[in-house]
Amino acid sequence: MTALCVILLSCSVVLAAPNAEAPPPAGAGGEDAFAQNACVRCHENLSGRLGEITHLEWKKSVHYANGVGCEGCHGGDASLRPEQFRSADEFKNASHQARDPRLLALQRGPEQFVSRVRGREVSYFCGKCHGLVKEKHLGSPHGDNGDPTCLYCHARRPDGTSTHEIHTATLEIVDTRSREEGGRCAPCHQAPTMEAVGQIKKTLAGTAALIDDASKQYEALVERGYRSLELAGLQEHGREVHSRLRRVFHSFDMREINGFAGEIQALAERTTRTHQLLEQVRAMRRRQTVVGLGVCAFLLAFVALLLFYKRTYCLEHASGLDLGGDRRSGSKHPP
């Protein structure tokens, strides 16, 4: 069990990113939220690596799409303006004054930059925003060891270099490939545990699919007037349930993962049964409606037939009898 728990986080890779930039987050009035951000405005005009981080990586990231700028991670004062200072150097020094010293970039080779943040400290650093995931990760075998870190899984390219091009996490981030295929987990974990990773990934994928399917079914139930507080906790907050699933995954506690997956499965099955029951009720009501309409149509047709018979035969026969009586009466009593 311990071996199964240990394998998960280090089996992660970052998905290949699209070439296009993410849509810019809108500020007040719909303008670019980073239009007056000192960090962005300065770095996007720089050449070399410090400019590439902005153009080629960060602007394609989930952080950019959600309005998280350089200062959100690195610190510094992004509210300053160059015109407030007498020189570019004064502006640069002032904007960097409150920068987090743990993230001073150090160059290791021509294409790779590293920071002083290492091991468990990475979890605390990222946990400033991702607090719930941080708690799960720190309590996991990987968190205890301080390696692999959040950055290993979410901020690395397949070739091993670091990047600011961080994307929304999906199950595809779990790398089940062998060492020969370039799998990222395989260098530390042997084939038996890698097979377990595949099964775990399949379980998580199935659970995610259950959440989506059950949400659609519950939406259909709501449209028909059915509501359940218990089921709504899963269905009406599907995004939060997916988020909780990701948090549980970071714990690498198989009992917790399987327990949550079982909870989701039970609620999803209950939703499916309720949906099927209401579908049966709906189908029965449709049949009853069809039968009722058929009976009404038959009765209307029968009434129409009676009226037709009355008009065609009864009234004409009665009229003929009246005319005959008048003729007989006229012969006996001439005017």
Taking only the tens place, the pLDDT of each residue in 251-278 is 877 788 788 888 877 777 777 777 677 6
pLDDT of residue 236 exceeding 60, the answer is no
**pLDDT surpasses 50 at 250:** yes
Ramachandran region of residue 24, left (φ > 0), alpha (ψ -120 to 50) or beta? beta
- Listed residue (260, 280, 274, 281) closest to 232, CA to CA: 274
Per-domain residue ranges of the chain: 18-99, 192-289
One-letter identity of residue 217? Q
Which alpha helices (DSSP H) does the chain contain, by range?
A: 2-6, 38-43, 49-52, 62-65, 70-74, 88-95, 120-126, 131-138, 141-145, 150-154, 191-223, 229-235, 238-251, 254-309, 315-332
Instruction: State the Cα–Cα distance between residues 273 and 221, nearest whole angstrom.
Output: 11
Give the model's confidence band at 23: pLDDT under 50 very low, under 70 low, under 90 confident, else very high: low
R_g of the chain computed on alpha carbons = 37
What average pLDDT score do residues 240-259 get?
80
Q: Assess whether pLDDT exceeds 50 at residue 216.
A: yes
- Can you give the pLDDT at residue 18? 41
pTM above 0.75, yes or no: no
What is the rounded average pLDDT of the residues 168-187? 79
Q: What is the pLDDT of residues 104-149, one digit of tens each?
A: 766 555 555 567 788 888 888 899 899 989 999 898 888 888 888 8
pLDDT in tens, 35-88: 889 999 899 888 888 889 998 999 999 999 999 999 988 888 999 998 999 998
- What pLDDT does 233 receive? 59
Q: What is the pLDDT at residue 2?
A: 33
Q: What is the pLDDT of residue 279?
A: 73
SS (H, E, C) 13-33: CCCCCCCCCCCCCECHHHCEC
Q: Can you tell me the distance from the alpha carbon of 313 to that of 159, in angstroms, rounded to the nearest whole number?
A: 97
Span 282-333, pLDDT tens digits: 788 888 899 889 999 999 998 888 888 877 777 666 666 565 555 555 555 5
The whole-number pLDDT of residue 283 equals: 81
Nearest alpha-carbon partner for 4 in 262, 253, 261: 253
- The lowest-confidence range among 10-14, 122-126, 206-210 is 10-14
